[in-house]
Structure 1
Amino acid sequence: MASNQLPFAKGASINRPPLFRGDNYPFWKVRMKIFMESVHRSIWQIVITEYKIPTKIENEKEIEKPFDSWDQDEIKRAKNDAKALNIIHFALNSDEFFIISACTTAKEA
């Protein structure tokens, strides 16, 4: 008899992201999108658009801007990427976590 085991426990929490155990990725992705949007719509958006550290042109070269010179929008985007990456990390079992543990942005993860 086939098992219809769902990738989350009964009574899944609205405060914790759905756990990904390595199977049924399309189902999990939809639930993660909804979860991230419930925290704030811009958190899912940063996963879609990909975060890039702010840069500036100096001596005709593009270099990273020092944090203390970031504007409010750059700080907000960095904060949203950190939140999204944190949500993704907490939504993975240990096997899946180690696959993406070196990723530095939510989109990369």
Structure 2
Amino acid sequence: MTIFLQSLDYQLWHIIVNGPRFPMRTVEGVESMKPENEYNDNDFRMLQLNSKAKHVLFYAVGPNEFNRISSCDTAKEMWDLLEVTYEGTNQVKESKISMLVHEYEFFLMHDNESISDMFTRFTTIINSLKNLGKSYSNQERKILRCLPKSWTPKVTAIEEAKDLSTFSLEQLLGSLMTHETTMKNHENVEVKKKKSIALKASKEESESDEE
């Protein structure tokens, strides 16, 4: 929603976050609302932006949410109400952040989990935290630390060969997926060798029994 609003008009997002800017005037040092007959083109544009933002929000929500926000006068009031509805109060947010931080700090790759699936779980946690105003640096190092012991040689090789401060998360993902493919190919070759040896031993045993 944020990107959509900003793509329509960046000032829409500014008005939703900070509230509309009502036309004001100062008379003898006292500030008050301008009467409508004194509005200039810029005043009308700023008021129109609030109406436009409300219009976008009305069309973006379902019937239940529409009933909640239909009586709001400004787009900011509408947004704040929707934010509490979906994200909860500050106390609820803190609880969510605490839970996600715990998931992040104790994040590990599961047994038989692919790099892609692990990365999807990790990204979900990171994005959820970011949406709640909490972000982490050194995500690449965190990913390396969550890998099982069988990945230790690869982790060591990356840490020695790469500068993790300039090595992007996408580059790391590509490197790990390539190594994962190589490991699987080696495993398949070993399985085929074992099957071939077992089959050969079985044939030799069968021939020996016949003799």
Q: Shared fold (TM-score greater than 0.5)? A: yes
Do residues 108 (structure 1) and 77 (structure 2) align? yes
2: CA distance, partners of 1:41 / 1:59: 35
State the SS of the aligned residue for 2:43. Answer: helix
Q: CA RMSD in A?
A: 1.9
Question: What is the aligned partner in structure 2 of residue 38 from structure 1?
Answer: 7
Q: 1:103 to 1:63 in 2, by over 3 A?
A: same
Of all paired residues, the percent bearing the same amino acid is 28
Indicate which of 10, 31, 37 corresponds to 1:68. 37
Q: Shift of residue 49 of structure 1?
A: 1.8
The alpha-carbon deviation at position 38 of structure 1 amounts to 1.4
SS state at 1:86 partner: helix
C-alpha distance 46-64 of structure 1, shift in aligned 2 (>3 A)? same
Letter in 2 for 1:107: K
Instruction: Give me the whole-angstrom Cα distance separating, in 2, the residues matched to 1:57 and 1:41.
Output: 28
Which ranges in structure 1 are unaligned for 5 or more consecutive residues?
A: 1-31
Provide TM-score, normalisation by structure 2: 0.34
Determine which structure has greater relative contact order: mean sequence separation of CA pairs < 8 Å that are 6+ residues apart, divided by chain length: 1
In 2 relative to 1, CA 52–42 (structure 1 residues): closer, same or farther, beyond 3 Å? closer
Report the count of equivalent residues.
78
Shift of 1:63: 3.7
User: 3-state DSSP class of the match of 2:76?
Assistant: coil
**How far apart are the structure 1 equivalents of 2:18 and 2:47?**
13
Q: Secondary structure at the match of 1:56?
A: strand
Question: CA–CA distance in 2 between the matches of 1:63 and 1:41?
Answer: 27
Structure 1 moving runs of 4+ over 6 Å? none
For normalisation by structure 1, the TM-score amounts to: 0.61
Deviations 1:42-95 (A, max 9, x none): 111111221142233457765421222122222211111110010001111111
Q: Residues 38 and 63 (structure 1 numbering): CA distance in 2 closer, same or farther, change over 3 Å? A: same
Letter in 1 for 2:48: K
Larger CA Rg, structure 1 vs 2: 2
1 CA distance for matches of 2:31 and 2:6?
33
In 2, the alpha carbon distance for the partners of 1:90 and 1:68 equals 31
Larger helix share, 1 or 2: 2
Alignment of 1:64-103 (within 5 A): 64-103=33-72
User: For structure 2, which runs of at least 5 residues remain unmatched after alignment?
Assistant: 79-211
